[in-house]
Structures are given as structure tokens and as C-alpha cells.
Copies of this chain bind each other. A is one copy, B any other.
Amino acid sequence: MKKNTIETGESSSGRPIMVLLDVMGQRWALRILWELRDARLTFRDLQKRCDDVSPTSLNTRLKELRALELVDHNEQGFGHTKWGRELGEHLLGLSKWSAQWAEEVLKG
């Protein structure tokens, strides 16, 4: 088998980009980061926005994102940390790019 590389840090081998690719490559991680881009959300609201992801999955992912200081939690719910916000900016860039890409590639 091949255990979760985020917990073990195994495949990441200390290279930041690998850690990042690992975490972003997990189901719902990017989506969560995306949905928190302009407002804090409660667990349940976040869940709804993420196509009603199971609480199990959501919680697992949130734990990881919090451990990596990309997401945090307070009285208003879950939201981006300073780092999460920066990463969110990158996603915004990707969003713009994806529009072009989609227009030419996806059934356009």
C-alpha cells in the first residue's frame, strides 16, 4: 500500500511544492479552499457548498488544511488563514485562466 503522504510526509521529501501538490491533490481540498475565498463558513454551510460532501470527508480534509495553516476556525466558522488567502489568490488566477481554456477545449 501507500499511506497518506500528508500524514507521513513520506513522498513529500521536504520539498514544499511536493507537500503542496500532495495536499491539493486530495479530494475536496482545493474545493474547500475555493469556497472559502470570500467568506467564512460554518461546517454545514461549507458542506453544502461542496456538493454536500460527507461530514467525514470534510472533517478529515479540514483537519489537514488546518494543520498546514491554510484554514483556521473561530466563532464565525472556518476560513482562510493568511496563507490560505494567498493560495486562494492563486486559485483565482487559475479561475481566470480556466475560462479561456474551457472556451476552447470544453465542448465549446
Contact across chains for A99 and B16 when beta carbons are under 8 A apart: yes
Cα(A74)–Cα(B26), bound, Å:
29
Q: Which residues of A contact B (CB under 8 A)?
A: 2, 11, 16-17, 19-21, 24-31, 34, 51, 68-69, 83, 86-87, 90-91, 93-95, 97-99, 101-106
Q: Which residues in B have their C-beta under 8 angstroms from that of A90?
A: 90, 93-94, 97
Cα(A68)–Cα(B98), bound, Å:
11
Closest to A83 in B: B101
Query: Which of B26, B51, B86 touches A97 (beta carbons < 8 Å)?
Result: B86
Cα(A2)–Cα(B27), bound, Å:
12
Cα(A104)–Cα(B91), bound, Å:
21
